[in-house]
Amino acid sequence: MTTGVIPGEQSPEPRPTGPELPDQRRGADGQGALHVDDRTRSSVITARAAASFEPLGRSVATARSFVRDTLQGWGFGDIVDDAVVLTSELVTNAVVHAGTAADVLCLRSDDGVRIEVSDRYPEREIPLQSSAVNMGSPDREGGRGLQLCAALAGRWGVEYTPTHKNVWFQLDLPERPVGTRAAGPSLPADLLPLADGRVRVAVVQIDRGGSITAWNEDAEDLFGYAAEQVTGKPLTDLAAWPHTPGTGTGIAEALQLSRWEGSYGIRGAHGRVIPVYASHLRVRDTGGEPSTVCLLVRDHERAVLQTPLRGSATGDAGAATEGASTDPFEVFIGSPAPDDLDGLLQRTVERARDMLDGDAAFLLLATDDETELEVRASTGLPSARQRFARVPVEAGPGRYGSARMPSVHDDLAAVPGAVPLLGGTGMRSVVTVPLKVEGRLTGSLGVAAESPGRYSNEEALRLQFAADRIALAVESARLGELERLRRGSLSFLVEASDLLAGTLDRDQTLALMAQMTVPTLATWCAVYTIADQASEPYLSYVLHEDEELIDGIKSLLSKIAPPDPVPTPGARVWNAPGEAAHQAALRSSMRSLSLGDSHHRIGTTIGPTLATASAVGGETVVLPLVARNRVIGMLTLGKPTDEHFRQEILELAEDLSRRAALALDNARLYSERTAISQSLQRSLLPPGLPQVEGVEVEVIYRAAGEGNEVGGDFYDLFPIRDGAYGFAIGDVCGTGPEAAAVTGLARHALRLLAREGFGGPAVLERLNSAILDEGARSRFLTLLYGELWPQEDGSAELKVVCAGHPLPLRLRQDGTVEPAAEPQPLLGVMEDLELYEQTVTLEPGDVLLCVTDGVTERREGTRMLGDDGLADVLTTCTGLTAGAVAARIMRAVERFAADAPSDDMAILAMRVPGVHK
């Protein structure tokens, strides 16, 4: 849809009119007649709004909203209903019946509004002026647009061009008595709306971004927040907006509309949600900056703000429609009917209550299997408690116990429980009738009164007649809502699956499960996990939309037995949290009453307890988390006091629980296997380095790859016998479990052979044979092995064998660097090796540096650190301790390239500090 608004524009040149452009008006005899409108649009156009709509069914509702919002924004509320009805019919003719796009143009002038609807159907025959016009039967699905124009519009006409057909109508503003916009009859005091002694109207102003900029004193009294506490905060932080995925308007959208009225909740400073009735008006300041002014009263005082329903048309318009056939549905529900299901159901119960002069009315919709009825709308009853509550279709034997037949109860006190919905409401008499479509039960409509004997079969027949008129419209609206909900549910589940698949961390999976359900599906949730079949369920995660209540709910749930881990699919009701919360609140209240006037004690005991009881006092359901034919946990969803879940939300939660269970089980398996892998990897490293008297030793080890603690590189330092130590640093070809297996073989074989008294060459030759014995699993190995003897004069004697490994470097006190060994063949390739050892003496202050090839082969593009680069870095380490030398080498390697290292690295530094005197 494309729109445009141009305020204060002069009317464009009128379209040429003449014999070929007829103006169709209803004649005095009520038949369609052909007239030529020779009057042009000479009034000054003060504003215009235009929109284009695609040839789709939903465009009709969008066009109605466009016209309604436009006229309400212009202050023409008196003619909004007529304009919306006419626009709806004309746009329906264009986008549904003709199958073309529709252009809607609204023109505002001093004396009224002109609306034009154009479609693009050039094949249509242009009617001749002299021919009679047959405007069709009012009972047809389409074709009523021109009849309604003739009945409701002050002027109207049809204009044709080779490419467009344009139907326009003009609605004149009614004359109003000065100072009066709408009035109602004088009523006795007992029939006036109920309000508190002093009615408080909270005035809240919201800026373009949705943040609060103004907060009056009545708002402070109603909600408990001072103006400085809320100024600058988004209204969404305080609003408890009734929203279902895929349906309805969100608060952000409502604040952008020119006008909006309706009910929602504001979360007060005490943590509870206060139901309010709101009237929003979109305004702009002198600088053109838009904002929204919100007037809020308590919900039971809605009469202060609620716009009165439009009465029946009078005067000329009423005379024009006199004698015309009337749609019984429109007579009962009012015209135009609400576009959304909730609005239609609420209008229905209000009309039913007024029609039978009742004190309350309710409407329930049947589930798909026709076994239960779900409360969807009520008036005169505690709707928050009743909404979405479910009752069985067959409540007992006989016609009075079935919702499939009309029934009249003269006195509910004589048959308690006959109508479960009315238990404890004070209603005494009730009449209920079914809603049926093609013989299938789709709902039930009831009207109740506080006095007994109010209704008879005559009222039942009247109510059944009305129910028959609305049943099809209600079912059509319900199916439309279900379709929107399913589309929203699919989008929700796709997003949930993506989020759950994006992590293998168990704690993060639990958090995601809770965050996806609160507040979209429930007000609070708790996740129980089961480690194994012998374990009890454990409370792992709790979340509430109000973070201040989380600790209270967690404490409450920890004191009651967890739900049974039943694998049966579907949600089951769990009453334990609500009962426990009620008992805790009762005990807290009784204790507080015996504490006198101790405000501090009362505020710190009863307050949180009552808030927790209110938070979990509604319906609570449990869904099993089943993965791989085993119950691994339970997902618990809850509502605050007196609220219920709707069936579609429970079905969506069940789909989510199946996906969440598999993600949680995958995270569990991954965590277990990661823990096992890391434990095995840690076993391949030395448990600790021994203290070598007279020699400083430092090791730095970095394994490449996420989650790896050990790779193909390894090191070791261990005592051989008194005063002698063995050390090694090596690199196994490849990575993964095979390389790790050779690492473990090499480290343990070195210790065993060295302690058996074998010298360096003999140790490596026997290790070479052990590696070759592994056959296909063998890997070649580069290894630097040596034996260390600290001397009494402060020096250290080393005997080393370098089998294919990067040569060790010796740093002298004068800063010179030289290799400390000669290269020899690597291990794991040839059977017969002839190795020899070399003796190296480290003088006081000398450093021996041993590294793996992950250090020397560090790359940045085509550059490589290499042996020379390593030697250059080592020359700068004169006078440093062994730990400082190893740290400087590692920093140099890391800074050599921007990318993370792709190979394992090990650094072994040994320094002889000398004898301290």
Q: By 3-state DSSP, what share of the chain in percent is helix, strand and coil, each rounded to 5? A: 35, 25, 40
> What is the Cα–Cα distance from 732 to 827, expressed in whole angstroms?
10
> What is the Cα–Cα distance from 383 to 222, expressed in whole angstroms?
21
Q: Is the pLDDT score of 236 beyond 90? A: no
291-295, long-range: CB within 8 Å, 24+ apart, which pairs? 291/205, 291/206, 291/207, 291/208, 291/213, 292/205, 292/206, 292/255, 292/256, 293/203, 293/204, 293/205, 293/206, 294/202, 294/203, 294/204, 294/205, 294/206, 294/235, 295/201, 295/202, 295/203
> What is the Cα–Cα distance from 119 to 98, expressed in whole angstroms?
8
Q: What are phi and psi of 584, to 5 degrees?
A: -65, -40
**Residue 105's pLDDT band (boundaries 50, 70, 90)?**
very high
> What is the Cα–Cα distance from 116 to 104, expressed in whole angstroms?
6
pLDDT digits (tens, 9 = 90+) for 301-317: 888 888 765 444 334 43
DSSP annotation of 235 reads G
The structure tokens listed for 550 are: 């989380």
> What is the Cα–Cα distance from 868 to 889, expressed in whole angstroms?
13
**What's the number of CA atoms in the CB half-sphere (13 Å) around residue 301?**
16
pLDDT digits (tens, 9 = 90+) for 722-750: 889 999 998 888 766 677 778 888 888 89
Q: Is the pLDDT score of 525 beyond 80? A: yes
- The predicted pLDDT at position 842 comes to 92
- The predicted pLDDT at position 600 comes to 43
Q: Is the pLDDT score of 248 beyond 70? A: no
The structure tokens listed for 824 are: 């020899």
Report CA Rg, the chain: 42
The structure tokens listed for 88 are: 């709806």
Which residue(s) pair with 718 in the sheet? 726
Q: Determine which helix (DSSP H) or strand (DSSP E) holds 172, and give its type and residue range.
A: strand 165-172
Residue 292 class from Cβ within 10 Å (0-12 exposed, 13-18 middle, 19+ buried)? buried
Q: What are phi and psi of 404, to 5 degrees?
A: -80, -10
pLDDT digits (tens, 9 = 90+) for 385-439: 566 777 777 765 444 567 788 888 888 888 877 787 787 788 889 999 999 888 8
For the segment 839-849, the average pLDDT, to the nearest whole number, is 92
**Residue 713's pLDDT band (boundaries 50, 70, 90)?**
confident
- The predicted pLDDT at position 42 comes to 52
- The predicted pLDDT at position 345 comes to 86
The structure tokens listed for 117 are: 């609807």
Give alpha helix (H) positions in 799-909.
853-856, 866-875, 882-896
Concatenate the DSSP letters of all residues of 531-578 into one string: SSTTSPPEEEEEEESSGGGHHHHHHHHHTSPPPP----SS-EE--HHH
Q: Is the pLDDT score of 608 beyond 70? A: no
Q: Determine which helix (DSSP H) or strand (DSSP E) holds 749, and give its type and residue range.
A: helix 736-755
More confident residue, 803 or 602: 803
Q: Is the pLDDT score of 167 beyond 50? A: yes
Q: At what angle do helices 457-501 and 506-517 cross, to 10 degrees?
A: 150
For the segment 673-682, the average pLDDT, to the nearest whole number, is 71
- The residue type found at 45 is I
Q: At what angle do helices 576-593 and 550-558 cross, to 10 degrees?
A: 110
More confident residue, 25 or 480: 480
Q: Is the peptide bond before 519 cis (omega within 30 degrees of 0)?
A: yes
Q: Is the pLDDT score of 775 beyond 80? A: no
pLDDT digits (tens, 9 = 90+) for 862-905: 888 888 999 999 999 998 999 999 999 999 998 888 887 777 78
Task: Mark residue 499 as left, alpha or beta (left: phi above 0; alpha: psi -120 to 50; beta: remaining).
Answer: alpha
- The predicted pLDDT at position 719 comes to 92
For the segment 541-546, the average pLDDT, to the nearest whole number, is 87
For the segment 679-688, the average pLDDT, to the nearest whole number, is 72
**Residue 331's pLDDT band (boundaries 50, 70, 90)?**
low
Q: What are phi and psi of 483, to 5 degrees?
A: -65, -45
**Residue 594's pLDDT band (boundaries 50, 70, 90)?**
low
- The predicted pLDDT at position 394 comes to 75
pLDDT digits (tens, 9 = 90+) for 437-457: 888 888 899 999 888 888 888
Q: What are phi and psi of 104, to 5 degrees?
A: -115, 130
- The residue type found at 158 is V
DSSP annotation of 877 reads T
Nearest to 230 by CA among 196, 275, 266, 198: 266
Mean pLDDT of the chain: 79
Q: Is the pLDDT score of 691 beyond 80? A: yes
Q: Is the pLDDT score of 276 beyond 50? A: yes
Q: Which of 210-224, 538-552, 566-580, 725-739 shows the highest mean pLDDT?
A: 210-224
The CB density around residue 617, as the number of other CB atoms within 10 Å, is 21
Nearest to 907 by CA among 867, 853, 838, 859: 853
- The predicted pLDDT at position 784 comes to 94
Q: Which of 54-58, 318-322, 763-767 shows the highest mean pLDDT?
A: 763-767
- The predicted pLDDT at position 249 comes to 60
Q: Is the peptide bond before 336 cis (omega within 30 degrees of 0)?
A: yes
For the segment 105-130, the average pLDDT, to the nearest whole number, is 73
Q: What are phi and psi of 474, to 5 degrees?
A: -65, -45
Q: Determine which helix (DSSP H) or strand (DSSP E) holds 865, and give its type and residue range.
A: none
**Residue 777's pLDDT band (boundaries 50, 70, 90)?**
low
Task: Mark residue 695 as left, alpha or beta (left: phi above 0; alpha: psi -120 to 50; beta: remaining).
Answer: beta
Q: Which of 326-330, 352-356, 640-644, 888-892 shows the highest mean pLDDT?
A: 888-892
pTM over 0.75: no
- The predicted pLDDT at position 910 comes to 94
Percent of the chain with pLDDT over 70: 80
> What is the Cα–Cα distance from 813 to 790, expressed in whole angstroms?
18
For the segment 473-478, the average pLDDT, to the nearest whole number, is 85
Percent of the chain with pLDDT over 90: 18
For the segment 275-299, the average pLDDT, to the nearest whole number, is 90
- The predicted pLDDT at position 689 comes to 83
For the segment 633-638, the average pLDDT, to the nearest whole number, is 89
For the segment 262-285, the average pLDDT, to the nearest whole number, is 88
Asked if 656 contacts 517 with a C-beta cutoff of 8 angstroms, the reply is yes
Residues 6 or more apart whose CB falls under 8 angstroms from that of 901 comprise: 702, 704, 854, 858, 893, 894
Q: Is the pLDDT score of 225 beyond 90? A: yes
> What is the Cα–Cα distance from 690 to 685, expressed in whole angstroms?
14
- The predicted pLDDT at position 565 comes to 85
For the segment 652-666, the average pLDDT, to the nearest whole number, is 86
